[in-house]
Amino acid sequence: DQGDFTGYLKAFAVLKSPVDAFFDSVLVMADEPELRQNRLALLAELREEMNRVADISKLAA
């Protein structure tokens, strides 16, 4: 319902700074395969959570 949608949007807004900091300080595509895979998996989980609310790829334009 609308209340849940608003709550999700507020939660995602709070994540902006930590996600920006992650990309500023972490090399996602690390040389070590296990490290790279773990970082990609973390981002995939974030994407899945966001996609539960909306297809964010359609918001990018």
- Check pLDDT > 90 for residue 16: yes
pLDDT tier for residue 49 given thresholds of 50, 70 and 90: confident
CB 25 within 8 A of CB 31: no
Q: How far is CA 59 from CA 50, 51, 54, 55, 56, in A?
A: 12, 11, 9, 7, 5
Which token pair is 13? Answer: 């807004």
Determine what percent of the chain is predicted with pLDDT higher than 70: 89
pLDDT per residue as tens digits for the range 17-41:
999 999 999 999 999 999 999 999 9
The structure tokens listed for 55 are 């297809």
Residue identified by tokens 């998996």 is 41
